[in-house]
Amino acid sequence: MPIGDKVLSNFRQQKEEEKVYAAQKIKVGIIGTGWIAEEHVESYLRQPDVEIVALADLVEGKASKFAKHYGLTGARLYPNHKAMLESEALDAVSVCTYNVTHAECAIEALNAGVHVLLEKPMCVTLDEAIAMMRAEKKSGKILSVGFQPRMDENMGMIKKIVESGTLGEVYYIQTGGGRRRGIPSSTFIEKKTAGIGALGDIGCYSLDMVLNAIGYPKPLTVTGYTSSFFGTSPEYQEPEDASRFDVDDFAAAFIRLEGGIVLDFRIAWAMHVDTPGDTIILGKKAALRIPSTECWNGTIGGPMKLYTDVAGEQVETIIPAIESKGPGLFDRKIRSFLDAIITGGAAPVPTSQIVYNQAILEGIARSAALGREVEITVPEV
């Protein structure tokens, strides 16, 4: 391309990019200043049109230490989300609290007329999810759930393959993820803060990868199983953590979805094998194998493979893994949320989909406790 054209094209691209930035800085508050809040703040600080004006945390001194670390000297500090929402005129909040307070923080922020970027999982129970959707609808504000793997090109490719019709009608999916040893600590391992264990921490990602690809059909029934053999054992866990561990560290389920699709799912924080297997999507015309994924960060374990018949011959096509270019997934998650606020667009990861993800998580826990299959009913909002 001649130099003049290149300069012009760069200028146009720059102008195009500038267009999505807000004319005035978007005032953001951070609720919960723990581990994941660091990622949110680092990404917000890379955006030219954001000002972090307030931080809240229940633990005394935590928000102030966090503010100092990130040089957020102008940010006002609060002992909880309520105090922040009462005192501040915010445009948006990131809810970075542990799972059991997701619902109350999101609902109260929406009621205060504030857009919400919520960490995953959406919440703990289906009732909470419905209450959040009602608050979202009433407020007219955005509630987006922070599934950053959605922004990954490979995850996008899985969806494109399904939507292209290459697989034909999908009727069976096997998915999940996990690790041989990898139980988190801190607030992840107790019901009083996390509500659910591996299911909520990483299970929600595996479910989102495949459900998003097939258009989030309604879940109908689930037979679920959960266990906690590793988390509760001082043989595999620090004794102090083992004694307070009361969530799942492994879950498996057989889920029936609308459209005659079944979903066979497993997730593990710990087990005596390195992976519960590849993801397989079976369609009537072809099948897709996605090598065992690090579903929580969007990476896939190698090239995907498409199995189909061509002129009566069984063939396999390699679909190379796409190397991600440009901003990281967290920056894309934050930017897409900001862009939706500026343009009045839809939530990048909408609750209308994630409510089904939540219904499945809750269904698995409920079925496991009852020891039988349960029906899933998601009320209309």
Ligand X SMILES: NC(=O)c1ccc[n+]([C@@H]2O[C@H](COP(=O)([O-])OP(=O)(O)OC[C@H]3O[C@@H](n4cnc5c(N)ncnc54)[C@H](O)[C@@H]3O)[C@@H](O)[C@H]2O)c1
- Report the interface residues with ligand X, using CB under 6 A: 31-37, 56-59, 62, 80-81, 96-99, 101, 105, 119-120, 146, 148, 186-187, 201, 296
The 10 Å Cβ neighbour count of residue 82 is: 15
Residue with tokens 């920056």, as numbered in its chain = 331
Closest CA to 222 of 353, 372, 351: 372
Minimum CB distance to ligand X, residue 202 (Å): 9
Nearer to ligand X, 119 or 241 (CB): 119
Nearer to ligand X, 120 or 141 (CB): 120
Strands 286-290 and 279-283: antiparallel
Nearer to ligand X, 246 or 264 (CB): 246
Closest CA to 87 of 118, 54, 117, 44: 54
Minimum CB distance to ligand X, residue 303 (Å): 25
Nearest residue to ligand X, using CB?
34
Nearer to ligand X, 62 or 266 (CB): 62
Nearer to ligand X, 37 or 261 (CB): 37
List the helix and strand counts (H, then E) for the chain: 12, 15
Nearer to ligand X, 148 or 212 (CB): 148
Report the half-sphere exposure of 158 (CA within 13 A, side-chain side).
34
CA distance 178 to 293: 9
Minimum CB distance to ligand X, residue 26 (Å): 20
The sheet carrying 26-31 orders its strands as: 76-78, 50-56, 26-31, 92-95, 115-119, 143-146
Nearer to ligand X, 119 or 136 (CB): 119
Minimum CB distance to ligand X, residue 149 (Å): 9
Q: SS in 3 state form for 193-217?
A: CCCCCHHHHHHHHHHHHHHHHCCCC
Pair 134, 109: CB distance under 8 Å: no
